[in-house]
């Protein structure tokens, strides 16, 4: 028997059952509360007993000292109760959010989410007072999805702050922030944001149902939630958009998409998605028409370069050398004369080396970062060429494919693209263009067959839907009249009805 097993058993034995009803007598309640929250060992579980000034009754307030605002308790609860006169409790306590609870389950939930709970002698109802003050970072610049032109703030690990960032941009009474709970042991709050008169009910219900169907002890943050929500956990393609930018989230809300927020993540999830959601950057719309589309074009090229350039190089030089212009061909041949590996091996070495630099670069402690990066990239490449392990042209190819992968800012699709690259390289090494094109076609068809919450991945390009046709390129802002038709929003046009 493993000690783990035994330990688990023993805790479940000492775990006391949750009392069903709240007693009239305060002493009993206090005892039960202490028991429930293991008062003796649980350091930050606190309570304070006092006599209420206006009715001279004994009262006790319970809370986790680590997640409440002490000043607030003092100012808005204790002080009024100890000093003020009034008719009843709710008129004396000046706190903005007061709820009456009736059973212990709710009490536990409230205390865990940072509320203070007030027991009064001779009263079987309990008051929950919102004094929560979870610690979180301040709002910082978006670091992973940076833009030059556009708002710079990013979500932070606080639901209220994140909501405020979104509501700041969207003043619409139809913008609903619906709360849901997930998790059995640790109940976490999930917020679904949507615009009530835009969102497609079917998709909304689908999302709600999937959240309800999750039965797990706890889900800590949206990054984990994402994996519980998606349809195909083994797929190479993501089906949920993950972003840290409030402006991006708001833009999607305006189009009728659903945004999922949690208290613990500095990012949100957006459903449903298409390929284009991963391809676009919010900056495309902030930049003027021509500039935005130019940057799209470059990004499209980057998509091609990242996935295909190494594979194309392998296919062409191993199987179709006739198509390289003679001067280039001779140059490549000359540089390969002393290289001891087959070409595909060379390409794989460099691509993997690049991935190593990248992975290490993320994990490296901040102060060391830049130095190691340069050492890794430059010295490694240079030295490898000098030592005749690889030919210089491979460095160019690998650097090009690595560099262009950074233009794809979404982390999910970035991984898709990088993994695909290796599939393509292997295919190209196997049978040149024949296999490469075949595998590319299958990959493409796989993408076309993917559905995210019932929406095809390449919609609205194909299958076609009425929309702003914001796919490879976007229209001028004034011409973007329609919302994306593939999610079937309740209101298709972005113009007021009477003006049409």
Partner 1 sequence: MRKKNIFLICIFIMVFPSGCNDRQELEQQSYVVAIGVDKAEEEDKYDFTYQIANPEVGSSSSQGGTNEPPSEIVTITGNDVLTATYTANAFVSKKITLDHTKVIIVSEELARDENFLRVLQAAARTPQIRRGVELIVSKEKAREFIQLNKPVTETRPHKYFLSILNRVTRSGLSPNSELHRFFQITEGDADLFLSTYASAIPSEEGEGNEDEYLAGQIPKLGGSPTQFMGAAVFKEGIMIDTLNGHETRLVNILDPTMDIENFITTFKDPIEPKFRVSIGYSQDKDPNISITYNKDKPSLIEVTVDFKAEVIAIPSLVDYSQNPDYQKRLINQIISELEEQTNKLIEKSQKEYGTDPFYWSLFVRKHFLDVKAYEKADWNKVIYPNAKIKVRYNLQNLEFGKMLNDTSLEEVRD
Partner 2 sequence: MLNNGSLKTREIVAILSLFLGMKLADSTPSLLAQKSQNGFWLVPILSFFILLPSFLLIMYLLKKYKDKNLIELMEAILGKWFGKALGLLFFTFVFLSLSLDSRNYVEQIKILYFPESPTKVIFFIFIGIAFFGAKKGIEVIGYTSWIAFPLIKFSVTLVFLLIFGKIIIQRIFPIFGSGIDILMLEGLQKASIFSEIFIILIAYTATKETKKFRHGVYLGSIFAFLEIILFYFIYTTVFDYNSIQKVAFPFHDITQYIQFGEFFTNIETIFMVFWLFAAYLRFIIFLYLITMIFGAIFEIKKFEPLLLPFSFLSIMIGLLPLNSISNELFLRETLFMIMSPFLILLPVLLWIVALSKGELRS
In the complex, the residues that contact partner 1 under the rule CB under 8 A are 317-319, 321-322, 326-327, 329-339, 342-343, 388, 392, 429-432, 435
What is the closest distance, in whole angstroms, from the C-beta atom of residue 316 to partner 1 in the complex? 10
Strand order in the sheet with 175-182: 175-182, 188-195, 258-262, 268-271, 241-243
Residue 317 contact partner, candidates partner 2, partner 1, none, CB within 5 to 8 A by sort of partner: partner 1
How far apart (Å, rounded) are the C-alpha atoms in residues 426 and 428? 5
Residue 335 contact partner, candidates partner 1, partner 2, none, CB within 5 to 8 A by sort of partner: partner 1
Contact between 435 and partner 2 by CB under 8 A: the answer reads yes
What is the closest distance, in whole angstroms, from the C-beta atom of residue 322 to partner 2 in the complex? 5
On whether the CB atoms of residues 424 and 236 are closer than 8 A, the answer is no
How far apart (Å, rounded) are the C-alpha atoms in residues 143 and 348? 30
Q: Name the residue nearer to partner 1 (CB basis): 339 or 407.
A: 339
Q: Name the residue nearer to partner 2 (CB basis): 80 or 489.
A: 489
Cα dihedral 284→289→293→295 (10° resolution):
-60
Contact between 182 and partner 2 by CB under 8 A: the answer reads no
Residue 332 contact partner, candidates partner 2, partner 1, none, CB within 5 to 8 A by sort of partner: partner 1
Q: Name the residue nearer to partner 2 (CB basis): 291 or 444.
A: 444
Contact between 431 and partner 2 by CB under 8 A: the answer reads yes
How far apart (Å, rounded) are the C-alpha atoms in residues 475 and 486? 18
Among 438, 490, 491, 494, binds partner 2 (CB under 8 A): 438
Among 216, 446, 491, 493, binds partner 2 (CB under 8 A): 446
On whether the CB atoms of residues 457 and 471 are closer than 8 A, the answer is no
Q: Name the residue nearer to partner 1 (CB basis): 331 or 372.
A: 331
What is the closest distance, in whole angstroms, from the C-beta atom of residue 405 to partner 2 in the complex? 22
Helices (H), 193-286: 201-213, 222-229, 246-254, 275-279, 282-286
- DSSP structure string for 341-380: S-HHHHHHHHHHHHHHHHHHHHHS-GGGHHHHHHIIIIIH
Residue 146 contact partner, candidates partner 2, partner 1, none, CB within 5 to 8 A by sort of partner: none
On whether the CB atoms of residues 199 and 258 are closer than 8 A, the answer is yes
Local structure of 219: helix, strand or coil: coil
Q: What is the DSSP letter of 495?
A: S
Report residue 148: phi and psi, to 5°: -90, -50
Q: Name the residue nearer to partner 2 (CB basis): 264 or 317.
A: 317
Among 333, 449, 490, 493, binds partner 2 (CB under 8 A): 449
H or E element at residue 309: helix 289-319
What is the closest distance, in whole angstroms, from the C-beta atom of residue 222 to partner 1 in the complex? 28
Q: Name the residue nearer to partner 1 (CB basis): 168 or 320.
A: 320
Contacts of 83 (CB under 8 A, 6+ apart): 53
Q: Name the residue nearer to partner 1 (CB basis): 18 or 334.
A: 334
The DSSP bridge partners found for residue 135 are none
Binding letters toward partner 2, positions 307-346, x by CB under 8 A: ---------x--xx-xxxxxx-------------------
Quote the radius of gyration of the chain (alpha carbons, Å): 29
How far apart (Å, rounded) are the C-alpha atoms in residues 446 and 342? 31
Q: Name the residue nearer to partner 2 (CB basis): 396 or 448.
A: 448
Contact between 9 and partner 2 by CB under 8 A: the answer reads no
On whether the CB atoms of residues 419 and 236 are closer than 8 A, the answer is yes
What is the closest distance, in whole angstroms, from the C-beta atom of residue 229 to partner 1 in the complex? 21
What is the closest distance, in whole angstroms, from the C-beta atom of residue 175 to partner 2 in the complex? 31
Contact between 297 and partner 2 by CB under 8 A: the answer reads no
- Of the candidate spans 78-86, 228-236, 278-286, 430-438, the one that interacts with partner 2 by CB under 8 A turns out to be 430-438
Contact between 463 and partner 2 by CB under 8 A: the answer reads yes
Among 437, 466, 480, 492, binds partner 2 (CB under 8 A): 437
What is the closest distance, in whole angstroms, from the C-beta atom of residue 368 to partner 2 in the complex? 44
Q: Is 122 left (phi over 0), alpha (psi -120 to 50) or beta?
A: left
Residue 437 contact partner, candidates partner 1, partner 2, none, CB within 5 to 8 A by sort of partner: partner 2
Strand order in the sheet with 115-120: 45-51, 58-64, 115-120, 126-130, 98-101
Q: Name the residue nearer to partner 2 (CB basis): 104 or 319.
A: 319
How far apart (Å, rounded) are the C-alpha atoms in residues 337 and 495? 65
How far apart (Å, rounded) are the C-alpha atoms in residues 191 and 169? 18
What is the closest distance, in whole angstroms, from the C-beta atom of residue 346 to partner 1 in the complex? 10
What is the closest distance, in whole angstroms, from the C-beta atom of residue 416 to partner 1 in the complex? 20
The DSSP bridge partners found for residue 58 are 51
Among 462, 475, 490, 491, binds partner 2 (CB under 8 A): 462
Footprint of partner 2 (CB under 8 A): 316, 319-320, 322-327, 431-435, 437-442, 444-446, 448-449, 456, 458, 461-464
């Amino acid at each position: 028997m493993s000690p783990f097993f035994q330990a688990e058993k023993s805790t479940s034995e000492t775990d006391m059952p949750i009392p069903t009803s709240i007693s009239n007598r305060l002493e009993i309640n206090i005892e039960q509360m202490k028991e429930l929250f293991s008062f003796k060992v649980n350091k930050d579980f606190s309570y304070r007993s006092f006599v209420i000034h206006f009715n001279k009754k004994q009262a006790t307030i319970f809370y986790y000292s680590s997640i409440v605002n002490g000043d607030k308790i003092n100012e808005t609860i204790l002080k009024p109760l100890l000093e003020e006169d009034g008719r009843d409790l709710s008129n004396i306590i000046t706190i903005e959010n007061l709820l009456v609870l009736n059973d212990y389950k709710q009490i536990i939930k409230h205390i865990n989410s940072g509320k203070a709970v007030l027991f009064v002698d001779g009263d079987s109802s309990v008051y929950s007072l919102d004094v929560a003050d979870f610690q979180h970072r301040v709002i910082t610049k978006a670091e992973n999805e940076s833009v030059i032109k556009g708002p710079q703030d990013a979500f932070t690990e606080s639901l209220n702050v994140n909501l405020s960032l979104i509501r700041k941009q969207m003043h619409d009474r139809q913008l609903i922030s619906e709360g849901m709970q997930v998790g059995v042991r640790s109940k976490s709050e999930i917020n679904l944001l949507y615009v009530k008169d835009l969102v497609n009910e079917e998709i909304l219900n689908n999302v709600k149902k999937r959240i309800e169907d999750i039965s797990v002890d706890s889900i800590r943050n949206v990054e984990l939630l994402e994996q519980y929500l998606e349809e195909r956990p083994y797929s190479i393609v993501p089906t949920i958009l993950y972003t840290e930018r409030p402006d991006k989230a708001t833009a999607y809300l305006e189009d009728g998409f659903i945004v999922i927020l949690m208290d613990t993540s500095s990012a949100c999830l957006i459903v449903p998605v298409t390929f284009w959601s991963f391809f676009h950057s919010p900056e495309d719309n902030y930049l003027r028409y021509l500039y935005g589309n130019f940057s799209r074009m470059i990004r499209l090229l980057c998509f091609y370069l990242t996935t295909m350039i190494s594979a194309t190089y392998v296919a062409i030089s191993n199987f179709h050398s006739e198509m390289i212009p003679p001067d280039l061909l001779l140059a490549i041949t000359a540089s390969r004369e002393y290289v001891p590996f087959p070409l595909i091996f060379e390409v794989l070495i460099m691509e993997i080396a690049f991935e190593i630099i990248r992975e290490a670069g993320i994990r490296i402690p901040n102060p060391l970062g830049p130095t190691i990066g340069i050492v890794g990239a430059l010295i490694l490449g240079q030295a490898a060429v000098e030592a005749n392990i690889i030919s210089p042209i491979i460095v160019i190819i690998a650097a090009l494919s690595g560099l262009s992968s950074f233009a794809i800012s979404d982390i999910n699709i970035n991984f898709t693209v990088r993994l695909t690259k290796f599939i393509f390289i292997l295919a190209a090494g196997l049978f040149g263009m024949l296999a490469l094109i075949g595998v590319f076609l299958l990959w493409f068809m796989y993408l076309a067959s993917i559905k995210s919450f019932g929406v095809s991945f390449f919609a609205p390009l194909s299958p076609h839907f009425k929309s702003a046709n914001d796919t490879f390129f976007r229209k001028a802002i004034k011409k973007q009249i329609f919302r994306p038709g593939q999610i079937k929003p309740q209101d298709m046009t972005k113009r007021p009805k009477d003006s049409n």
